[in-house]
């Protein structure tokens, strides 16, 4: 079957937009399968099925996980549907203006005879740009009709883009895809492409060419709202990992199981779910309040006036990463540095490194950190320090790859004789220290074999007493004179 590749015409719009929508929406099912086969979602599905069964209904064991699975599919569908709607209202709304108005841009369609009529069965586009003094072409909108895949059409369309870029004097052609698209990766490597940047320890590593769209610049007062929003989002994302870490600790697992058992011993299957449910909700609330209060505090301190906090001294600075998202400029990353003296050594402290979720695992964190490092080197800082936690493995690996290493910082402590003015602080410290033994003493007592036996005996006695009270009707006595 003969396929002709030609430039886009305005009369192709409806067919091109239809093919684009079909191609993007084809990712819904793979996304759904990838999500539902992850360990976390398998556990949630099984837990919902068990909960439905414990409620005394085999139907519930099917309905509850069925609702959950349907919700996940809806989310996957809405994710790609919203992307299609957004693109159809941006560059795909006027393809001629978006891709044919400049000599360095182009849009092609592949046309073939299907059932006696000409149909658009493939498309591809290229956008010319300048990056670091080089002229580059970025491959866009590669879509192939399902009926024409694995027939060499993808290679022909890609080669058309390469030939166009060579004729236009471009030094290289860039594109973005993921390693989960094995057929596309194999095609691009066969045509001479190579990996620009890849990430380990991720479920879906990316080939990132997108970084050329991101500009790192100094903070402006007009950026405040976007920067504060990005900061808040980044901090509040730690709520779920904190909650998960708490609920998977041995102590909290034991408490949850004990509450479930207590609810069941009280004679109610519903109580076996409600009591631990209240406990789990309380823990989540505490985790949420912990990070929410931190955000509120920071928004009222250095983030309240970023210019004064980070741009009033020549050795301090605050940067933002700006990118085009959906046709509008958005702040997608931040980083800051504060100069300080420690032991006669001039140091820079890296702070406020935040990356938008859409731009993570794409090298932007490395670029922002490198920007801070170069700033410190220009000002003669002897070292750059930062603070993070071991649980943030992605951040720790990033910093190690950039040459950072773990140090132990010990605060300077001076030992002196007591003064009368120290009385209030000393008494407070004494009280706190002694009262700090209450919880260890309680845990030690309650985990001893004798107290465990007593607790279980009381629980059994309470259950038997409840059964007796239910089974034995009340009796009334009276004494007649």
For 195-414, CATH number? 3.40.630.30
CA distance 354 to 368: 9
Facing residues of 235 across strands?
A: none
Contact 5, 156 (CB under 8 A): yes
Pure H helices in 11-133 = 13-25, 28-36, 39-54, 58-88, 95-99
Contact 136, 171 (CB under 8 A): yes
- Rounded alpha-carbon distances, angstroms, from residue 20 to 13, 88, 142, 444: 10, 9, 9, 65
List the strands of the sheet with 317-325, edge to edge.
Answer: 215-218, 317-325, 328-342, 345-355, 383-385
**Ranges of residues in the chain whose predicted pLDDT is under 70:** 1, 56-57, 131-132, 178-182, 195-213, 267-271, 325-327, 389-393, 406-414, 449, 456-457, 459-481
Q: Specify the pLDDT at position 327.
A: 63
Q: Specify the pLDDT at position 207.
A: 30
For 97-193, CATH number? 3.40.630.30
- Rounded alpha-carbon distances, angstroms, from residue 280 to 249, 276, 293, 356, 411: 13, 6, 20, 29, 37
- Rounded alpha-carbon distances, angstroms, from residue 436 to 77, 255, 331: 52, 21, 45
Q: Which residues of 409-423 are buried (b: 16+ CB within 10 A; e: fewer)?
A: eeeeeeeeeeeeeee
CA distance 219 to 317: 8
Q: Specify the pLDDT at position 196.
A: 61
Q: Specify the pLDDT at position 155.
A: 86
Q: Specify the pLDDT at position 14.
A: 92
End-to-end Cα separation, the chain, in angstroms: 113
CA distance 172 to 129: 11
Contact 291, 240 (CB under 8 A): no
Query: In 3D, which of 93, 178, 164 has the Cα closest to residue 124?
Result: 164
State residue 389 phi and psi, 5-degree precision: -115, 150
Q: Specify the pLDDT at position 228.
A: 92
Residue ranges matching CATH 3.40.630.30 in the chain:
97-193, 195-414
What DSSP state is assigned to residue 211? Answer: G
Q: Specify the pLDDT at position 461.
A: 62
């Amino acid at each position: 079957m003969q396929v002709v590749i030609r430039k886009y015409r305005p009369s192709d719009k409806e067919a091109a937009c239809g093919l684009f929508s079909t191609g993007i929406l084809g990712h819904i099912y793979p996304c759904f399968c990838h999500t539902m086969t992850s360990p976390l979602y398998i556990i949630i599905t099984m837990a919902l099925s068990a909960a439905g069964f414990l409620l005394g209904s085999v139907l519930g064991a099917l309905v509850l996980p069925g609702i959950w699975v349907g919700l996940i599919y809806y989310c996957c569908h809405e994710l790609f549907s919203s992307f299609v709607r957004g693109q159809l209202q941006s560059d795909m709304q006027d393809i001629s203006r978006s891709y044919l108005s400049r000599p360095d841009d182009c849009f092609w369609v592949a046309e073939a005879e299907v059932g006696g009529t000409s149909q658009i069965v493939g498309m591809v586009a290229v956008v010319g740009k300048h990056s670091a003094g080089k002229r580059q072409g970025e491959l866009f909108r590669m879509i192939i009709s399902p009926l024409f895949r694995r027939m060499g059409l993808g290679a022909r369309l890609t080669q058309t883009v390469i030939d166009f870029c060579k004729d236009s004097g471009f030094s290289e052609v860039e594109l973005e895809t993921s390693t989960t698209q094995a057929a596309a990766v194999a095609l691009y490597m066969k045509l001479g492409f190579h990996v620009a940047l890849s990430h380990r320890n991720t479920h879906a590593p990316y080939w990132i060419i997108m970084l050329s769209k991101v500009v790192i610049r100094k903070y402006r007062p007009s950026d405040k709202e976007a920067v504060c929003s990005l900061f808040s989002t980044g901090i509040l994302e730690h709520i779920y990992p904190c909650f998960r870490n708490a609920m998977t600790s041995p102590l909290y697992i034991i408490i949850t199981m004990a509450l479930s058992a207590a609810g069941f011993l009280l004679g109610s299957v519903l109580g076996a779910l409600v009591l631990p449910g209240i406990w789990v909700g309380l823990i989540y609330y505490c985790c949420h309040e912990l990070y929410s209060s931190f955000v509120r505090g920071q928004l009222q301190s250095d983030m309240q006036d970023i210019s004064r906090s980070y741009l009033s001294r020549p050795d301090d600075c605050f940067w933002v990463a700006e990118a085009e998202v959906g046709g509008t400029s958005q702040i997608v990353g931040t980083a800051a540095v504060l100069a300080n003296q420690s032991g006669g050594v001039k140091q820079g402290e890296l702070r406020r490194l935040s990356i938008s979720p859409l731009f993570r695992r794409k090298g932007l964190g490395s670029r922002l950190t490198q920007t801070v490092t170069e700033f410190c080197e220009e000002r003669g800082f002897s070292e750059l320090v930062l603070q993070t936690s071991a649980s943030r493995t992605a951040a720790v690996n990033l910093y190690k790859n950039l040459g950072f290493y773990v140090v132990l910082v010990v605060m300077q402590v001076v030992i002196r004789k007591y003064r009368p003015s120290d009385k209030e602080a000393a008494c407070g410290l004494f009280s706190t220290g002694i009262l700090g033994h209450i919880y260890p003493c309680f845990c030690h007592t309650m985990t001893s074999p004798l107290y465990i036996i007593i607790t279980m005996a009381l629980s059994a006695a309470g259950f038997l007493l409840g059964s007796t009270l239910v089974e034995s009707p009340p009796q009334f006595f009276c004494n007649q004179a």
